Amino acid sequence: MLKLRNSLSQNLRLKKNPKMSLRIGLIAVLVGCFSISTWAASEATLTTRAPLTQDSDKVIPLSELCVKALSKFSGKFDDKVLAQACSKVEVLPGCESVNGTPIYHYDKKGQSKKSPKVLVFSLIHGDETAAGSVGRFWMERLETISPRNSWRVVPILNPDGLLKKTRTNSNMVDLNRNFPTKDWDEKAKLYWQKDSKSNPRRFPGNLSASEPETQCAMKHIEDFKPDFIVSIHTPLKVLDFDGPKLKPPKFDYLPWRSLGHYPGSLGRYMWFERKIPVLTMELKEDLPSSNQPWLQLQDIIGVLVGIENMSDKEKAQVKKK
């Protein structure tokens, strides 16, 4: 009843004051036009947005992403074992590429709580795709054995480079020149300009550890606390060991040879500054017909890790042999 009275009294006031009635009418028209234009604009935004692809409609499980990526590498692999290994991959917080691709890893614990830890980085350079085949094989093998050592495998550290088939990441930075070595500020760019002749494939970045992929690698080092690191590359056809001077175990597939280390490189960052040995595998571009060399090399790494964890007296005896 009160609402009716208010409505009637309002109508009477409007009839007595036609100017007020006109003003209110104009306001109503303007409000209506604004509402229609706003709705039209929002509709235009929705209709001009690029259509969603089938994959972007859903969140792809990490295990599927892992299988899809690793199965593309050349060489033999077991579908079931790979799927089983990929079902266990994880991602450390913040471990993603420049373009937002997750950088996942696979863990396999050793036989005891005090087992030495081996950290593997594969595809730090995106155009060295053969490296991905080794990372995949080691994940598969670890899935089927009970290893002496604890292993963590990061099969694709540079997913953007892999997608674009470039050595560098999406920011055009060589990740293996971007680690924050003590001499980085003084020497990294100078070395790049003089020794690498400003080769864009080896650009160290404008700041050390500037790249999310480098930061991810450092997070793994901090989180896993490895006793030994393996970095898989191509195509120099050698095994380069940054570590204590030892007589290397025999390996027929690749010779042992020191390649040196550089400002911002993983070898300098880990061995020469932190005394954590680094084995750099420089594979041939053409992979062997079987996975036997990778099996043998994984066992050799186990031997090297065992030597590294010996007492000084035991190490001295090994050096004499």
Encode pLDDT of 50-83 as tens digits: 222 334 456 889 999 999 999 999 989 999 999 9
Which residues, other chains included, contact 189 with Cβ-Cβ below 8 Å and sequence gap of 6+? 204
Residues 173-194: what's their mean pLDDT?
97
Q: Is the pLDDT of residue 168 over 90?
A: yes
Range with the largest mean pLDDT of 21-35, 103-117, 206-220, 296-310: 206-220
Q: Is the pLDDT of residue 308 over 80?
A: no
Which residues, other chains included, contact 36 with Cβ-Cβ below 8 Å and sequence gap of 6+? none
Cα(153)–Cα(78) distance, integer angstroms: 18
* Assigned architecture for domain 63-320: 3-Layer(aba) Sandwich (3.40)
pLDDT number for residue 230:
96
Helix then strand then coil, in percent of the chain rounded to 5, is 45, 10, 45
Amino acid at 147: P
Q: Which of 1-15, 117-131, 226-240, 303-317 has the lowest mean pLDDT?
A: 1-15
- Give the start-to-end residue ranges of the domains of the chain: 63-320
Q: Which of 42-46, 68-72, 184-188, 244-248 has the lowest mean pLDDT?
A: 42-46
**CA angle, 107 as apex, 153 and 65 as ends, to 5°?**
70
pLDDT number for residue 26:
39
Which uninterrupted H or E stretch holds 23? Answer: helix 18-48
pLDDT band at 250, cuts 50/70/90?
confident
Question: What are the distances in angstroms from CA 297 to CA 27, 81, 204, 236?
Answer: 81, 20, 30, 17
Taking residue 177's Cβ as centre, other Cβ atoms within 10 Å add up to 26
pLDDT band at 14, cuts 50/70/90?
very low
Q: Is the pLDDT of residue 208 over 90?
A: yes
Helix 79-86 / helix 62-70 crossing angle, nearest 10 deg: 140
